[in-house]
Structure 1
């Protein structure tokens, strides 16, 4: 509880710091946020971090009402003023806030380790933003891909980026984010990622990995392993193609990997490929549960889309869309830390999980006060203690090995012609 209180106090101080001011100024507006206005930089960013789901004016009036502890809406800033201010905000400002938040969570030991390693899942999801036809400069495309690196233990998004649907694919997106990983990380990947050049790159950078490999993935050694009765096997993958080795600057050498057989709760057999060779520290029977933790990123994408309305954006330009996505990721990470603290403080059993939808509802009215540091530390602690009690009281029972297969067909995307109220 005290850790969470201090975290919010330091986060509020970060928003008001000169360092953040210098990071937040757009390169086209080097003197932005210098004058004293109704919508200064900390307030602008705080509004965006509350998870904007309604119309812009409704969100603004609700924010200032909560900031003044009023039930009646307060019309203090116009929608046009918000749009003009956010145009001067750099694209890196909010992602760097997220980097600060992740580093702080690591410092406070809120990110657990699996056998001494930090788990990092990688995946991508298609987004269809509710944009209308316009003639604005640098207008955003409606269909884009969101790639993310995710920490399954505390349910935190480590990093994320938007990409065109016409770019090279998820492997390329992952390659561009490999600098965010260290030898102490264990990368969890789904069946769309395995290829020879990626294995060579990960081994070259000493990045540990565990990825699912299908029987039809093109690896002859995987097909032979599936036909055998062995539970695990050390195999050698062919060297990457010459052009791949040049493009990704990886060694054109055969790669040694370990294949592990895993049987799902439904009885389906799947193969996991890894470079964790120590069978005493990493026995074969531990990989099924390890790979299952990757599912957390799928749930986070669903939560961002359907709970925080990620596809409902507050601007038509690519800059506005990228800012909204980054802000909602930070908003979800803050909620995840609050939910994690609520679960620990209430000493809930492992099979009880926090209802994140209710956590967002309970936390949002307090976000203006928590993010702007409008009350003293003791009052913030009292507010957090009350909301943690509410959140801990809204749980559901987690049932192991519960399978809900997806229905085949196009992904549903609701029309954005009408906004939430």
Structure 2
């Protein structure tokens, strides 16, 4: 008898001699189709540093449908926006138009509305997970040579500005001495970096009215037993040194807000200008940033080491200063080695320069607090990915990561990206080009310029424009009323 069963979608007849596809196979094909619409060059070169599951399409809701601005495409578009010298949304839309034309698909509109809407749907939690993943990968890299086999975490803070919108002003208000409409919202960023690799491990954002110490305390989970914390004078705090010691983390900070201990008052003289001292617990008052209960749990005193450092290099502003540390063994940690370790703390200023000047994070562009946080996160992700490339290039050439230039690495990446397209290259050719990219990154070796002295001033004169002392709308109205009529 002839089979009259209708051929419904998804059903299979044995007479067709076609095996049914498994659910996993269908999901793999779906991911492959979506991946084909990504910005392939960036994904090919830096995709190994990004967790793929964070960019998969959602089962329902945002990014669940197959569109040009999928979650993966939107992420890499945002990534390229940070990496580009222009940094505008229109540039990303033009890139998507060229990408669609190369695929033979319909080019999207020149309007940035669709891309900006898709960018706003990226979840902060997903970007946070990507940043943590990049930091963990840098930590596990085999070339991460630590200082005396211990990881050194340098901490510092910096300021950021953003567009003058009411929403941004409420979260990050401008300085009080500026009139409304004449300034910009100011945020404070406190970040922890790995000194050896330059990787950004964690960060916190606050307003400029918040000190860096409370922001650091929100990042205590970044530190692991055996780490060494290095900070400037702003982090010299009895409470924080005690808390780090409780977590088996040693501290190296310059002395501040206390008088140095004299030789006669020391517990032991370990060497020239090297003393073993006692730090008594300070008296509690209401102005402290911790509670009276937390103060009561602190030890009555801390046994620390005080080292006097004399700066012999001419041109430095400081001639001598004191370092206090919990590394009290002079045999394992000589005084000169600790002084040199604090000298390397200056690298954190260079890390912030790479973020703010080279990647353009100094002046942000987004107009809402949520998008400002996403923009900062994307800058940090791009920075860590560049550090990944530098670490691999340094490994190939037997160099230290701090010997390579972030700016030169970004310039090399921008020039090599058009060549890295898996759709037109064979795997062997792809690997060859990536190896040549690493060679180009490692070609620029920074010279060791110890003792470099530069004046703290600028030569370029600013343009002779007066400062804005009134809101823009008021000044525009004054210009209209003062202009002569025809």
Say whether residues 1:280 and 2:331 are aligned partners.
yes
- Map of 1:3-402 to 2, 5 A cutoff? 8-12=46-50, 14-15=51-52, 17=53, 21=56, 31-50=61-80, 51-52=82-83, 53-62=86-95, 65=98, 78-129=111-162, 131-133=163-165, 142-167=185-210, 169-214=211-256, 217-219=257-259, 221=261, 230-242=272-284, 244=290, 246=292, 248=294, 250-266=297-313, 268-347=319-398, 353-364=403-414, 378-402=428-452
Q: Would the aligned equivalents of 1:33 and 1:40 in 2 still touch at CA under 8 Å?
A: yes
- Partners of 1:125 and 1:330 lie apart in 2 by 18
TM-score by length of 1: 0.80
Partner of 2:39: none
Q: Would the aligned equivalents of 2:231 and 2:252 in 1 still touch at CA under 8 Å?
A: yes
Q: 1:222 to 1:294 in 2, by over 3 A?
A: farther
Q: 1:367 to 1:245 in 2, by over 3 A?
A: farther
Q: How many residues align?
A: 390
Partner deviation per Cα, 1:287-332 (whole Å, 9 max, x = no partner)? 1211122111101111211111103434201111111111111111
Greater CA drift, 40-49 or 260-269? 260-269
Q: 1:328 to 1:224 in 2, by over 3 A?
A: farther
Partner deviation per Cα, 1:205-241 (whole Å, 9 max, x = no partner)? 2211101114xx2245379889x99421111111143
Q: Would the aligned equivalents of 1:66 and 1:366 in 2 still touch at CA under 8 Å?
A: no
1:397 aligned counterpart, secondary structure:
coil
Q: Would the aligned equivalents of 1:197 and 1:240 in 2 still touch at CA under 8 Å?
A: no
Structure 1: gaps of 5 or more residues: none
1:294 aligned counterpart, secondary structure:
helix
Partner of 2:37: none
Q: Would the aligned equivalents of 1:234 and 1:256 in 2 still touch at CA under 8 Å?
A: yes
Partner of 2:176: none
Q: 1:384 to 1:7 in 2, by over 3 A?
A: closer
Q: Would the aligned equivalents of 2:167 and 2:369 in 1 still touch at CA under 8 Å?
A: no
Cα deviation, residue 90, structure 1 = 1.9
Partner deviation per Cα, 1:173-223 (whole Å, 9 max, x = no partner)? 111111110112110111111122222222222211101114xx2245379
Cα deviation, residue 254, structure 1 = 1.1
Higher relative contact order (CA 8 A, sep 6+): 1
- Partners of 2:99 and 2:311 lie apart in 1 by 48
- Partners of 1:292 and 1:255 lie apart in 2 by 24
Q: Would the aligned equivalents of 1:362 and 1:387 in 2 still touch at CA under 8 Å?
A: yes
Q: 1:165 to 1:137 in 2, by over 3 A?
A: closer
1:273 aligned counterpart, secondary structure:
strand
- Partners of 1:188 and 1:80 lie apart in 2 by 45
Partner deviation per Cα, 1:68-112 (whole Å, 9 max, x = no partner)? 889xxx766742112211222222222221211121222332422
Which protein shows a greater Rg?
Answer: 2
Q: 1:401 to 1:220 in 2, by over 3 A?
A: closer
Partner of 2:36: none
- Partners of 2:131 and 2:141 lie apart in 1 by 15
Structure 2: gaps of 5 or more residues: 1-42, 174-184, 473-486
- Partners of 1:200 and 1:368 lie apart in 2 by 52
